[in-house]
Amino acid sequence: MSGISVLILTKNEEQDLPGCLASLAWCDDIHVFDSMSTDGTVEIARAAGATVTQRPFDNWSSHQNWGLQNIPFKHGWVYYSDADERVTPELVRAMREFVAHPGEHVALRVRRRDYLNGTWLKHVTPSPFNIRLFRPTHIRYERLTNPVTKVDGPVADTDQHFDHFPFSKGISHWFQKHNAYSTSEADQIVANRRAGEGFSLRKAFFGADANERRFHQKELYYRLPLRPLAMFALLYVGKRGFLDGRAGLTFAVLRAIYEYMIVLKVREHEHPHRAGLDAPVPRP
């Protein structure tokens, strides 16, 4: 037995799921949490011996929280994976050693290696760390998309990694997915501004409450002038993405485009007249 259950979120992942499942063959309790796929995802999962739970997707945090609270995991530790990810044998050994002697820790932060056109994006990706192994009773997610993982307890780190292939379905699919992500990001920004107080630079750095500081720090980031260009400069120059060659340049440009999509959609939310959404209909 592995002592670790696995949770995989899917939606039409018949292309990537077989490779993901193959890298998780060491686990005796794999759960595929599916968002009503219309391709062969469910059949592939069941053929591999995974337990399938289906639920219509609403938003990322709600969906993930529901899964952690309702799926009957066999083990007290859960490893979370996406279908376009592969767990390395070295990571498996590190996780088994960790759960055997976790001490007071309730989660493990794991390194991620992103690939584009066969190139490991060693420098250009914003953050190579993800909380992926945890006790589900100590975890919750926040935000509509790109959810923030909230951990109730100490978190440990490992130098081992999983491999991530975000462009496995091609650039068109990446744009389609990030078009949806940018809409959710814009919705989240607008919702935060409507629910929270006005932005304060002082509270972004000196707010007494951590959640208050986080809100104002996010607002500070979202208010940066020329944010898409700032993101490109951060990734390509600040993080030395140029060392990743053509793949690094491509990724930095795509991230800048994604940021600009969010900027435009927030502007559309807050100033619909500028986007032409309330333009009068011409008379015949």
Instruction: Provide the pLDDT confidence category of residue 2 given band limits of 50, 70 and 90.
Output: low
Instruction: Provide the pLDDT confidence category of residue 276 given band limits of 50, 70 and 90.
Output: low
d(CA 59, CA 181): 10
End-to-end CA gap in the chain: 73
pLDDT higher than threshold 80 for residue 281: no
Q: Give how far Cα 93 sits from Cα of 4, 88, 109, 202, Å.
A: 12, 9, 15, 45
Instruction: Provide the pLDDT confidence category of residue 249 given band limits of 50, 70 and 90.
Output: very high
d(CA 277, CA 194): 20
Residue of 12, 19, 57 lying closest to 39 (CA atoms): 12
pLDDT tens digit string along 135-172?
999 999 987 777 888 899 999 999 999 999 999 999 99
pLDDT higher than threshold 80 for residue 103: yes
Report pLDDT for 123. 96
Phi, psi of 144 (to 5 degrees): -70, -35
pLDDT higher than threshold 60 for residue 284: no
d(CA 19, CA 163): 11
d(CA 197, CA 181): 25
Residue 17 CA, distance from chain mean position:
17
What class does CATH assign to 4-164? alpha beta
**Could you give the dihedral angle defined by the CA atoms of residues 155, 157, 162 and 164, in that order, rounded to the nearest 10 degrees?**
70
CB 92 within 8 A of CB 100: no
Instruction: Provide the pLDDT confidence category of residue 198 given band limits of 50, 70 and 90.
Output: low
pLDDT tens digit string along 229-244?
999 999 999 999 999 9
Task: Give the 3-state secondary structure of residue 68.
Answer: helix
Instruction: Provide the pLDDT confidence category of residue 279 given band limits of 50, 70 and 90.
Output: low
Least reliable range by pLDDT among 70-74, 100-104, 253-257, 265-269:
265-269
Place of tokens 């993901």: 20
CB 184 within 8 A of CB 145: yes
* Domain residue extents for the chain: 4-164, 171-270
